[in-house]
Structure 1
Amino acid sequence: MPTTRRRGMTEQAATAAIDQACRALRLPTIRAQFPDIAETAGRDQMSYHGFLAELLMAECDDRARRRSERRIKAAAFPREKSLRGFDFDENSNVDPAVIHALATCEWVKKGLPLCLIGDSGTGKSHLLIALGTEAAMAGFRVKYTLATKLVNELVEAADDLMLTKTIARYGRVGLLCIDELGYMELDRRGAELLFQVLTEREEKASVALASNESFAGWTKTFTDPRLCAAIVDRLTFGGNIIETGTESYRLAHSRRVQDDAARERRKR
């Protein structure tokens, strides 16, 4: 049906019509922000084109924000971590320029791996989650998991004859973040299943991994030397390796807090 141009509508009728149209067209941001943007447009004598652009850009920006929030939620990060919250001064082993270059997500776009290696408390999990969050905000599908949890899921899937489907599901995400590799020894079957996931993603989609063991120590996790070498090869070829060091800055921070509190008590 041809549209009918409505002339001579009162302000109240026009406002009601805008509200109704926004509901029908599912434009919640325009519906919510229209009164304020209209007031600003009138005060600043904005053109009709400028006013419409402000409304549409507000809707687009809010939709992009909501999509990012959904991707971050779907990633299943255990806690919120950001690059802004990482204290580079406390960990001189980590080069801020390298991390901020990784935050552009070019490595994710190219399907390259990332390995974060360091002792507990050195910030590797913080960086893993923060860079994963940056990737989700950049539009990539991201999935976070613990190494042992992933292996257990793969073993159960194999027992239920669902392994191919499970590996394919992990293969579809743009970035797979695997945390806490090296804390537990994996039996041969578990290691082989993890190897299948890595092979499925090789040179197609990125894997970011955090481990408390150096590559030389991975034989404690993957007891088959040949399989261990193959896994290391897939996680390092063409990728980035960030060594976060051996000194826990979490522990150092806690000690400083305790020392500061003790000094305050002595002053009293």
Structure 2
Amino acid sequence: MTEQAADAAVDQACRLLRLPTIRAEFGEIADTAAREQMSYRAFLAEMLMAECDDRARRRSERRIKAAGFPRDKSLRAFDFDANPGIDPAAIHTLATCEWVKKGLPLCLIGDSGTGKSHLLIALGTEAAMAGYRVRYTLAAKLVNELVEAADDKVLVKTIARYGRVDLLCIDELGYMELDRRGAELLFQVLTEREETNSVAIASNDSFGSWTKTFTDPRLCAAIVDRLTFGGNILETGTDSYRLARTRAQADRTA
């Protein structure tokens, strides 16, 4: 078989077997193998590892996209120097996703501009990259969806859908007051996930102030219990990083 015929045969086989990475990189890998005098086994291993690595990358990208994050945020981009109240070691420990594996909750509490949403999205992204199913939503959006599902008689199905993901990230909890019905529906989602799948929340209010969001004290206490039992609570502080950066830029301009 000539090299041209061999290349054509490899191309056709890769199409049939759905091996797009080997199909795209076969020529380059083959040339490298010839230069470095690789054994047949090493050459085959290089091709298979390239395909496996690329498939893993594509799976991660699909999980991150399915999570519905509003923007890209990474731990590498987080400025720990500008947020001295946040322990880098604690964040990097969370990035191992052991808490997601155990189904434990995570609460990020702090004022606006202190990095809560950045950390929530970044840790959710780490979980997606580690192979976990992740879903991000705003608290108000989730409650509105649950209310509509209840009105349309598909509440059980909707709660089950949120119950299946490994990590549910709820942002901006506490920004809006919830009526009793909305709070009860949110409680059902949390109960569905209790001690089985993780919930991570970001809130601008301390737990003591949550009665402004959940006006029923008993329901508020039950929700706090669901979100804190056995989990991690991180306080991001009160000094706005965004405000400080804006002021610093204004000073430099002046």
**Aligned to 1:140, which of 115, 129, 132?**
132
Q: How far off is 1:198 after superposition?
A: 0.2
- The residue number in structure 1 matching 2:30 is 38
Report the Cα distance in structure 2 between the residues aligned to 1:46 and 1:240, rounded to whole angstroms.
Answer: 50
- The residue number in structure 1 matching 2:165 is 173
Q: How far off is 1:17 after superposition?
A: 0.4
- The residue number in structure 2 matching 1:266 is none
Report the Cα distance in structure 1 between the residues aligned to 2:194 and 2:33, rounded to whole angstroms.
Answer: 52
Is 1:67 the counterpart of 2:59 in the alignment? yes
**Aligned to 2:189, which of 197, 201, 221?**
197
Report the Cα distance in structure 2 between the residues aligned to 1:191 and 1:224, rounded to whole angstroms.
Answer: 9
- The residue number in structure 1 matching 2:233 is 241
- The residue number in structure 1 matching 2:6 is 14
Report the Cα distance in structure 2 between the residues aligned to 1:157 and 1:183, rounded to whole angstroms.
Answer: 22
**Aligned to 2:21, which of 26, 29, 32?**
29
Is 1:99 the counterpart of 2:96 in the alignment? no
- SS in structure 2 opposite 1:116? strand
- The residue number in structure 1 matching 2:122 is 130
Unaligned runs of 5+ in 2: none
- SS in structure 1 opposite 2:168? strand
* Structure with bigger gyration radius: 1
Q: TM-score, normalised by structure 2?
A: 0.99
State the identity %: 83
Count, aligned residues: 254
- The residue number in structure 1 matching 2:214 is 222
- The residue number in structure 2 matching 1:121 is 113
**Aligned to 1:76, which of 68, 73, 85?**
68
Q: How far off is 1:254 after superposition?
A: 1.0
- The residue number in structure 2 matching 1:110 is 102
Please list every run of at least 4 consecutive aligned residues from structure 1 whose deviation after the TM superposition is greater than 6 angstroms: none
Report the Cα distance in structure 1 between the residues aligned to 2:28 and 2:113, rounded to whole angstroms.
Answer: 47
- The residue number in structure 2 matching 1:6 is none
**Alpha-carbon displacement from aligned partner over 1:94-125 (angstroms, at most 9, x marks no partner):** 00000000000000000000000000000000
Report the Cα distance in structure 1 between the residues aligned to 2:178 and 2:251, rounded to whole angstroms.
Answer: 41
Report the Cα distance in structure 1 between the residues aligned to 2:154 and 2:29, rounded to whole angstroms.
Answer: 52
Report the Cα distance in structure 2 between the residues aligned to 1:50 and 1:257, rounded to whole angstroms.
Answer: 54
Letter in 1 for 2:40: Y
Q: TM-score, normalised by structure 1?
A: 0.94
- SS in structure 1 opposite 2:205? coil
Q: How far off is 1:261 after superposition?
A: 1.8
Report the Cα distance in structure 1 between the residues aligned to 2:99 and 2:221, rounded to whole angstroms.
Answer: 23
**Aligned to 1:58, which of 38, 42, 50?**
50
Letter in 2 for 1:88: F
- SS in structure 2 opposite 1:78? coil
- SS in structure 1 opposite 2:108? strand
Report the Cα distance in structure 2 between the residues aligned to 1:181 and 1:164, rounded to whole angstroms.
Answer: 23
Letter in 1 for 2:28: D
Unaligned runs of 5+ in 1: 1-8, 263-268
